[in-house]
Amino acid sequence: MSETTASLSAQARTAKLGAAEADGIVRCDACPVLCRIRPGRSGACARYANENGHLVRTDPVVLLHRTAEEGGRLVPFGAADWDGRALDPARTFVTGIGSGTTYPDYKPAPFIVASEHAGVETVTVVTEGIFSYCGLKVKIDTDRHLGPERAAIRAGGEEVGHVTTAEYGSQMLSIGGVRHLTGGSKKEGSVTCESMLALCSGEAVTLTTDGGHEVVVQAGRAPIVDGTPESRMRVGCGSATVGIFARQWLGHADEVIVVDDHITGVLTEHQAGRVLGMRPAGIRVRGRRSTPGRYFQVANPGIGWGGTDIADPLSLIQAIDPKTAWPGLRLLMTSTTGEHALWLVLDDDLKPVPAEMPPAVRAVVDRIGENCEPSLCTVLFVAGAGGSLRAGVTENPVLLTRSVAAGETRVTMGGAPVTVWPGGGITVMTDVTRLPGRAFGSVPTPALVAPIEFTLPRDLYARLGGHMSDVVAIGDILREVGAGARVDAWRPANPWPLPPPTRERP
């Protein structure tokens, strides 16, 4: 290292975390609650405790470690296997999980880690952020109608978010945010915080929507709507489904209607049917005709066929033109997931009569299902890294903001990659399933606590006005936190935040 790094004494660590008072009481200043903790007890958040007059973290610091060979098998380290043995500093990443916070603003981050990778001297600033300005974007892969856009979402009867714009085959929810955490009643803030923490921790949370339905949400699992687990995300809207499978229906069906809450497709009217030279069938569906073979608003949203409230698909047919249709016309009605399908043949009076579906048609309906991806819930944590957090990194926070925006400083959360939103400030978003377990916590202000790390070249850190006197070599940190740390294997799907180490010779 080009500069001498600071020592990491127990006294220095305690000074960063709190202050001793009379009778062995320690005042914790890790968040604005400022708990006074008696010996042997923990604070309101259960994250800090008084151990013999010293404030300590109840959760261990989490270190991530990877193999010597890039892309090789992960080292099977775990909490039960850790015996304090030395880790290779070049292949170890110190996360913000269990590190402690920067509150109040004037304190440097709990760990400012110096390391060298591929000849580049690097600094990683490690902390846990207290995020009052945070929320969750929840993507639920289902056509089922969960509730009207902008409708309130509730947990335990308390409003915790709202339904936002639906995306292609997914319902989108916005949970949390500062207005729910701090702008409502105390109970609303507490329930919002508890719900967000549970979702970030991979637990199942039951949500209800005003004017809508109940859904059980769990990151990485299928949603459960009104007690029924979802299995398929639609292959596309009704129009897209017609376009994808039109050629496969040619010669086996005279008309296909793909029922969809957004865009219902009618094959012979659709451009795909016209290109294939299909004969018009004369079957008109309800709704507002957009372009040929594409209909909007065929029914109300619901949990029936194609995300509509339709239980009987024949109710969708508005008229059958006797000048165009013919007896024996073969009609398939299906949903965008293939979960609902009905085969009909027009009788002599041109009335659709259910019949046994031919194998060739059934094969295409099954292929619709095959092309549907598994229905999952995705939970994205979104937060603004503001005052105390940035001050723990540098004495001039705006320089950090500019460096992050310019891509010079890499941001991670528990070692997981984040998306940095454009524009002012440092607003980050990450998939909670990419973080190590037990990465999130909370404080009763209420707010969520989440790990965050800033990695950048050491010389750049100095130019940003970083806390250079608090920089500690990673070897010293590993010796200090060693036996008390939790060591997890690096997740191969996550990019390594630091420059890659040189390959060792055999």
Question: pLDDT over 70 for what percent of the chain?
Answer: 91
Q: What single-letter DSSP state applies at residue 466? A: B
State how far the Cα of 40 lies from the Cα of 53, in Å rounded to an integer: 9
If you average pLDDT over residues 37-57, what whole number do you get? 85
pLDDT at 363: 97
Condensed to tens digits (0 to 9), the pLDDT of residues 420-463 reads 999 999 999 999 999 999 999 999 889 999 999 999 999 999 99
Q: Work out the pLDDT band at 258, boundaries 50, 70, 90.
A: very high
pTM of the predicted model as reported, rounded to 2 decimal places = 0.88
pLDDT at 5: 43
CA-nearest of 5, 119, 4, 3 to 480 is 5
pLDDT at 480: 82
pLDDT at 500: 55
Side-chain-facing half-sphere of 251: CA atoms under 13 Å: 3
Query: Above 50 in pLDDT, residue 83?
Result: no
Side-chain-facing half-sphere of 253: CA atoms under 13 Å: 32
State how far the Cα of 87 lies from the Cα of 94, in Å rounded to an integer: 11
Question: pLDDT over 90 for what percent of the chain?
Answer: 72
Of 257 and 487, the one with more pLDDT: 257
Query: Above 60 in pLDDT, residue 4?
Result: no
Which tokens sit at 320? 């059958």
Condensed to tens digits (0 to 9), the pLDDT of residues 196-214 reads 999 999 999 999 999 999 9
Quick count: other Cβ atoms within 10 Å of Cβ 182?
Answer: 17
Strand partners, 207: 215
pLDDT at 69: 52
Q: What single-letter DSSP state applies at residue 374? A: B
If you average pLDDT over residues 102-111, what whole number do you get? 84
Q: What is the average pLDDT value for the chain, to the nearest integer?
A: 89
Q: Is the backbone peptide bond immediately before 446 cis, with ω within 30 degrees of 0?
A: yes
Q: Work out the pLDDT band at 11, boundaries 50, 70, 90.
A: very low
Of 57 and 487, the one with more pLDDT: 487
Question: Which residue's structure tokens are 């008072």?
Answer: 21
pLDDT at 30: 77
pLDDT at 461: 96
Is there a contact between 154 and 142 (Cβ–Cβ < 8 Å)?
no
pLDDT at 42: 87
Query: Above 90 in pLDDT, residue 485?
Result: no
Tally of helices (H runs) and strands (E runs) in the chain: 10, 35
pLDDT at 252: 97
Side-chain-facing half-sphere of 315: CA atoms under 13 Å: 10
Query: Above 70 in pLDDT, residue 16?
Result: no
Query: Above 90 in pLDDT, residue 283?
Result: yes
Condensed to tens digits (0 to 9), the pLDDT of residues 289-346 reads 999 999 999 999 999 999 999 999 999 999 999 999 999 999 999 999 999 999 999 9
Under DSSP, is residue 472 helix (H, G, I), strand (E, B) or coil?
Answer: strand
Task: For residue 248, give the H/E element and its range.
Answer: helix 238-249
pLDDT at 310: 94
pLDDT at 17: 57
Q: Work out the pLDDT band at 499, boundaries 50, 70, 90.
A: low
